[in-house]
Structure 1
């Protein structure tokens, strides 16, 4: 049988605990939040592995006094959509990603956007990063949701591997409607993806000013679209 506490906490101790809890909650609410989403269907394994190693760039680029909080999201297989726990630890995010293997299936970008909008209503997000190469969904529906993101100040940063024409047309429209940005890369341009991830983190942490101060190629590419 558990023993009863030897004494009751004083009112002063209780008030101190409540103040600390409130301060911790306030800090968490003020941390810039970003969803990091990747298409984990079968063709994506090489890029998934690449992103697993490069995601650290997002944390490094965030301001030291304004820790970035990231949620990993992915879809794969038959209607398999996952949203991991929020984290401010790049090592934890890397472990989350290392436990995922890609599986064949259709894209679920609509489901991702609806999830992001729901999270944004609970506690505002600074951005959504999506890495993918294709889409198999209704472009009008996706663009409508992207427009809602734009109205609610949730920019989409869409990084497309390759140049599939249909996907590119929809992705660029989604980025524009959300007041975000689109960029392409290939399987051999890991430095490009790293620069883009770092640029988005800088934007999430400090806005356009932080992007301008970065001066990286990724930052310059995003700035051209964000200032349009």
Structure 2
């Protein structure tokens, strides 16, 4: 059920990046709010093994985009194997999260996206989650059931930023719907363009920590390129 036979063209990826960052910019929340929380959820089933190391390296980019005193907390959630779905503690250190990720090996199994939604709801009830990032390549559950759970997250004000690896059109339709229902955004995970994915992760982290205003504090040329795509 996993289709990875094609890689999107550079123009398509860039269009997704532009649309995604425009959406993030429009969702800016006020500075000075409580420290942000970002749930980083990953499909760790066997088909993801070739790009797992890339995800490990790129997650650090989320932290590098944020001032150390911002207090952004990130929790890792992953599923794999026969019904295994685990969450880490909330951390504020890129090295701590990277260490957690390097200890995970991908295993065969079906997707457990419903558990991602359930966990996000539980954590959000304890304290607001400002953004959920999900990276995956397949949907092996009932899409209508998942869409209903996504809608519940949307009603709670918990946006989901969905990254798709591969070009399965059914998966894309589902992922786009999850993003729409949660008032989040969708973009394709193109392993051949890791810097674009890193830029997207930075944008989400900046939004979770302080919104569009915090994006302006990023000094890299890549960050400035992102800002140029945001509405004034």
TM-score past 0.5 threshold? yes
Other-structure match for 2:21: none
Structure 2-normalised TM-score? Answer: 0.78
Partner residue of 2:105?
Answer: 101
Measured after TM superposition, the shift of residue 199 of structure 1 is 0.6
- The residue aligned with 1:150 is 154
Q: CA deviation at 1:218?
A: 5.9
Aligned to 1:59: 63
Give 1:62-81 correspondences, 5 Å limit. 62-81=66-85
Measured at CA, do residues 169 and 33 of structure 1 come closer, stay the same or move farther in structure 2, by a change above 3 Å? same
1:44 & 1:37 partners in 2: Cα distance? 13
Superposition CA RMSD, Å: 2.1
Partner of 2:51: 47
Matched, 1:33 2:47: no
Q: Give the 3 Å change call, closer, same or farther, for CA 220–142 of structure 1 in structure 2.
A: farther
Gaps of 5+ in 2: 1-32
Distance in 2, matches of 1:123 and 1:220, equals 33
TM-score normalised by length of structure 1: 0.80
Distance, in Å, in 2 between the alignment partners of 1:76 and 1:161 is 16
Once the two structures are superposed, residues 175-217 of structure 1 have per-residue CA deviations (whole angstroms, 9 ceiling, x without a partner) of: 0110100000222111121111111001101124434676556
Give the distance between the partners of 2:173 and 2:228, measured in 1 at CA: 22
Q: Specify which of 178, 185, 192 is matched with residue 188 of structure 1.
A: 192
Aligned to 1:120: 124
Question: Deviations 1:152-171 (Å, cap 9, x if unpaired)?
Answer: 11000001112211110010
Q: Which 5+ residue runs of structure 1 have no aligned equivalent?
A: 1-28
The 1:203–1:103 alpha-carbon spacing in structure 2 relative to 1, beyond 3 Å, is same
Instruction: Give the CA deviation at 1:30.
Output: 3.1
Is the 8 Å Cα contact of residues 38 and 48 (structure 1) preserved in structure 2? Answer: no
**Count of residue pairs the alignment pairs up:** 196
Match of 2:183 in 1: 179
CA contact (8 A) 2:36 2:210 kept: no
Q: Provide the C-alpha distance between the structure 2 equivalents of 1:79 and 1:220, rounded to a whole number of angstroms.
A: 43
How has the CA–CA distance of structure 1 residues 117 and 195 changed in structure 2, closer, same or farther, with 3 Å as cutoff? Answer: same
Please say which structure displays the higher CA radius of gyration.
1
